């Protein structure tokens, strides 16, 4: 007689399969086949699995969060003398009892969480690849495009927004450096200009040089030069018609939320 373990779930069933595989390895001298049944959402599906399991020496391991379906499976298995193991049930019950909370009983949430995680990782990789104008093509495929002079928090903002799932490209505005053609084709509803109070920018740039162990470079930190850069940046932003945010006294989190809100308004969300 075959030794089967039916791993069933109202989602994919990775959790039940991983647990079952871990246990099966403890019995390496036995031949046990795992039969995975995913997206079990109807009583007819349960009936078919019970019918198959009854014909062999079987165990049913399950992660079913839909209460009615879980109770139906338990009833059918007991009636047919089939051993069943509920992977999630005891943990859900412990949560309910200890924290006095009710679960959503929504299948597939782990899968959704995994998708969110991978989207975030993709956004972070995007932010690194298209940081500081390294590849102008990023402007065409980004969710958000940030422009501003040096030391206006473009990179940390890009990374923070990436952790929220947004693909961000950022570009420095330097009077002597022509803007890439791709930047001229960016829609105003995904572009944001970052501005800053000139004297604050002097401080930030001096701190940056000190952190790098470099001597004060007059042109980079001179107020006259910074005023010229800011004037140039303001003209670019005006030509683009993009909204502006003053980052002088704002935390990264606050600026990021303003950017999201601004673009939602621009896009009519």
Same domain, 99 and 124: no
Model confidence at 31: pLDDT above 90:
no
Strand partners, 192: 146
Model confidence at 158: pLDDT above 70:
yes
pLDDT per position as a tens digit, 210-221:
888 887 767 899
Of 155, 125, 139, nearest to 242 by C-alpha is: 139
Same domain, 67 and 101: yes
Average pLDDT over residues 42-52: 93
CATH number for the domain harbouring residue 82: 3.40.50.2300
Same domain, 121 and 252: yes
Number of domains present in the structure of the chain? 2
Same domain, 176 and 53: no
Domain carrying residue 70: 3-107
- Residue 56's pLDDT band, with cuts at 50, 70 and 90, is confident
Domain boundary among 52, 75, 107: 107
Query: CA 172 to CA 150: how far, in whole Å?
Result: 6
Strand partners, 58: 4
Same domain, 240 and 158: yes
- Residue 111's pLDDT band, with cuts at 50, 70 and 90, is low
**The predicted structure's pLDDT at residue 85:** 94
Same domain, 191 and 262: yes
Average pLDDT over residues 109-116: 62
Same domain, 127 and 260: yes
- C-alpha count within 13 angstroms, C-beta hemisphere, residue 79: 9
Domain boundary among 67, 89, 107: 107
Model confidence at 199: pLDDT above 70:
yes
Query: CA 55 to CA 76: how far, in whole Å?
Result: 14
pLDDT per position as a tens digit, 226-241:
999 999 999 999 999 9
CATH number for the domain harbouring residue 162: 3.40.50
């Amino acid at each position: 007689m075959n030794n089967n373990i039916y791993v069933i779930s109202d989602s994919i069933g990775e959790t039940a399969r991983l647990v079952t595989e871990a246990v099966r390895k403890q019995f390496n001298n036995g031949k046990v086949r795992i039969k995975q049944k995913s997206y079990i959402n109807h009583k007819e599906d349960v009936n078919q699995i019970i019918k198959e399991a009854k014909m062999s020496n079987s165990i049913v391991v399950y992660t079913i969060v839909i209460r009615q379906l879980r109770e139906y499976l338990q009833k059918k298995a007991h009636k047919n003398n089939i051993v069943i193991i509920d992977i999630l049930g005891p943990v859900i019950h412990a949560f309910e009892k200890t924290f006095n909370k009710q679960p959503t009983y929504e299948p597939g949430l782990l899968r959704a969480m995994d998708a969110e995680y991978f989207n975030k990782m993709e956004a972070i990789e995007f932010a690194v690849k298209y940081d500081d104008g390294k590849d102008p093509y990023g402007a065409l495929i980004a969710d958000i495009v940030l422009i501003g002079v040096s030391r206006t928090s473009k990179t940390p903002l890009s990374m923070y927004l990436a952790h929220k799932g947004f693909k961000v490209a950022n570009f420095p505005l330097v009077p002597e450096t022509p803007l890439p053609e791709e930047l001229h084709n960016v829609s105003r509803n995904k572009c944001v200009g970052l501005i800053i109070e000139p004297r604050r920018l002097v401080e930030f740039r001096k701190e940056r040089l000190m952190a790098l162990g470099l001597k004060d470079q007059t042109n980079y930190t001179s107020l006259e030069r910074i005023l010229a850069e800011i004037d140039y940046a303001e003209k670019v932003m005006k030509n683009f018609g993009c909204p502006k945010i003053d980052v002088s006294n704002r935390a990264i989190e606050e600026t990021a939320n303003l950017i999201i809100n601004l673009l939602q308004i621009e896009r009519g969300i």
